[in-house]
Amino acid sequence: MQSDNLRILVLTGEQTDFLRYGALLRGHGDFVPELTWCPDPDDVGDLLIHAHFDALLWEPTFHAGSEGGFLQYLAVAGNEKPVIAIGSGLEDEQTERLVAGGAADYLCKGHLDRWSLARAVRCVWFRQQLEDSAGGQLGREVASGFINRNLFFDRLQQAILRAERGDHRLALVHINLDDFRTVNESLGYRQGDELVLRLAERLRQALRRVDSLMRIGGDELAVIAENVDDSIDLSQVVRKLVSALSDPVMVAGNRVGITASLGVATFPEAGDTPETLLRRANRAMFEAKRDSGTSYRFYNRQLHISAGHQLKLEEDLRNALRSGELELYYQPRIDLITGEVRGVECLIRWNHPTRGLVMPDEFIPAAERSGLIVPIGYWVIEQACARLRASADLGFPGLVFAVNLSFRQFHDRKMTETIFRIIFNANVDTSLLELELTESAMMHDPDYAQRCLRELSQLGISFALDDFGTGYSSLTNLQHLPISLVKIDKSFVQALGETGDSEHIIRAIISLAHSLQMSVVAEGVETEGQLAFLRDQHCDEVQGYYYARPMPWPALLDFLQDRNRLACLPE
């Protein structure tokens, strides 16, 4: 095997173990490891959906309920990618049990060295290549148009068994192309078949790795979506399918528009056998045919309402970005020594045409699930740069504009390039642009995140660590990242006076940050008592309702003018 880049997801709660595994795997000539650390079981599903991995290193103590259940979950969510378990028990005591539960191999942490770990990775990777090669011909036959309903029912049965063992929900989506007879009559049956195959390839690219797509009839396709445990997961699958069906398909030089009807049935609500699920998905599909255009129906009415709400929210948000319904609000940050406004945090709001002002707590999760948070994040940076330039022209030079970066921004491999282009076009003083990020945003791919931050810091951009004190590896991040400011999470500030722990934590954060030549901003300041304590501890800046709520741009200008007038009054 030539030198390959192997992407490995490391599932451990300890960064020291993550770093140790990386050190043991580096330097082998036949593969180059690319390690990603996941310290929280709740983040595993998102990573497996949005990133590709060749193998998983998993510590059996790392799970979200039970060891066996979590191992089964990894097999499904990871699309059967090999899992190497690394635990404290001896191999002869643990290997048989864990391999029977779905692990590809087991290694004892106490006996681990660079050769044993590399050998295990090589073996499972080579085995996976052989399995993929053996299954390749079957995959090509399915993709090339062969209709094999027996194979479909077998796959659906296996998926049901996995869902039953792992106590998960799965969804069967029955897709029927509308009025396909007309397509065959106008283009011919061969071109009609080509259209279905091209459409199937587009759908396959839109699906998660854990999902299966098969052709079960001349104008029928079926998707088996595993591990969809709530309406949010279901809405994501349906949204991607509907989006993939919306564009015309090029066949023999013709642009052919297609609409389809989708019926969705879920295990266990709609049935527990392949035949029952298909029959009820088929019934829901015929219900969808009552609507014009590409449409969908759920066999379960409650799921239909819930998933429909998610899809409608995402579609409204997509329209909001295009039609200018989004707006920035600004919350001032006050210097505790001078009383001046040192900067503002840029916060997004949505002016919905029928619902009025929608707060970010409601729509940001939908934006992150759908991926819209990436273009929205760039829009926020563009708006902040425009206001930064305007503030200097209006007589408020030196005002820092802080923008939050979502962890999803780090999934965009052109993040640095895009931010550089925005700043270049805006022609602003980059030292006045501050990007706020959380520790969780950097934990999905620490190496890539650190490289992005170093590149951006070379442009003069500064960085703040938001919600400090609530993450996993604050001290490590402070030492290795170009952070110039930390923000104390409002939960600590608002607990002042209730418990002595908050006072100790805030003192420690301020002392640590100052010893590393960093500034400190306390969020959520609402009372005179909180302000007095923070001033006594030499906190640099504060932000909160005590001084000002987030406000639109015209109100911010009035606030800045009022603060200037107060500063000019004689004492």
Tell me which long-range contacts 392-395 makes (C-beta under 8 A, separation of at least 24): 392/429, 394/557
| % of the chain exceeding 70 in pLDDT | 86
Instruction: Decide which of 94 and 535 is more confident.
Output: 535
> Which pLDDT does position 145 carry in this prediction?
47
Collapsed DSSP state (helix, strand, coil) of residue 4: strand
Q: For residue 411, what is the enclosing H or E element?
A: none
Q: Is the domain of 124 the same as that of 161?
A: no
Q: Is residue 409 part of a domain?
A: yes
Q: Is residue 570 part of a domain?
A: no
Q: Is the domain of 10 the same as that of 154?
A: no
CA gap 416, 449 in Å, rounded: 10
Query: Which residue do the tokens 């999905």 mark?
Result: 444
Q: Is the domain of 250 the same as that of 331?
A: no
| % of the chain exceeding 90 in pLDDT | 28
Average pLDDT value for residue range 495-523: 90
Last residue of a domain, one of 255, 290, 313: 313
Listed residue (170, 134, 136, 168) closest to 155, CA to CA? 170
Q: What are phi and psi of 388, to 5 degrees?
A: -60, -45
Q: Is the domain of 250 the same as that of 397?
A: no
Q: Is the domain of 122 the same as that of 203?
A: no
Question: For residue 193, what are the domain limits?
Answer: 144-313
Q: Is residue 256 part of a domain?
A: yes
> Which pLDDT does position 142 carry in this prediction?
43
Last residue of a domain, one of 285, 313, 341: 313
Q: Is residue 171 part of a domain?
A: yes
Q: Is residue 319 part of a domain?
A: no
> Which pLDDT does position 444 carry in this prediction?
60
Q: For residue 195, what is the enclosing H or E element?
A: helix 189-206
Q: Is residue 501 part of a domain?
A: yes
Collapsed DSSP state (helix, strand, coil) of residue 567: helix
Q: Is residue 569 part of a domain?
A: no
Asked if residues 280 and 270 have their Cβ atoms less than 8 Å apart, the reply is yes
Q: Is the domain of 555 the same as that of 407?
A: yes
pLDDT at residue 423 above 80? yes
Q: Is the domain of 496 the same as that of 406?
A: yes
Q: How many CA atoms lie within 13 A of 308 on its CB side?
A: 13
Distance of CA 433 to the CA centre of its chain: 25
Instruction: Decide which of 496 and 309 is more confident.
Output: 496
Q: Residues 6 or more apart from 71 whose CB is under 8 A from it?
A: 58, 60, 63, 83, 85, 98, 101, 102, 103
CATH number at 229 reads 3.30.70.270
> Tell me, what amino acid is at 119?
R
Total domain count, the chain: 3
Q: Is the domain of 270 the same as that of 385?
A: no
Q: Is residue 332 part of a domain?
A: yes
pLDDT tens per residue across span 66-75: 787 788 778 7
pLDDT at residue 568 above 60? no
> Which pLDDT does position 190 carry in this prediction?
79
DSSP 110: G
Last residue of a domain, one of 313, 335, 368: 313
> Which pLDDT does position 383 carry in this prediction?
96
pLDDT at residue 369 above 80? no
Query: Which residue do the tokens 């940001």 mark?
Result: 364
Q: Is the domain of 193 the same as that of 250?
A: yes
pLDDT at residue 355 above 50? yes
CATH number at 505 reads 3.20.20.450
CATH number at 32 reads 3.40.50.2300
pLDDT tens per residue across span 437-455: 876 676 666 777 888 888 8
> Which pLDDT does position 347 carry in this prediction?
96
Q: How confident is the model at residue 134 (pLDDT cuts 50, 70, 90)?
A: very low
> Which pLDDT does position 543 carry in this prediction?
96
pLDDT tens per residue across span 50-65: 778 888 999 999 986 7
> Tell me, what amino acid is at 272?
D
Q: Is the domain of 282 the same as that of 353?
A: no
Q: Is the domain of 113 the same as that of 58?
A: yes
pLDDT at residue 139 above 70? no
> Which pLDDT does position 294 carry in this prediction?
86
pLDDT tens per residue across span 306-320: 566 766 777 788 889
> Which pLDDT does position 473 carry in this prediction?
47
CA gap 565, 152 in Å, rounded: 74
> Tell me, what amino acid is at 537?
Q
Q: What are phi and psi of 6, to 5 degrees?
A: -105, 120
Q: Is the domain of 276 the same as that of 173?
A: yes
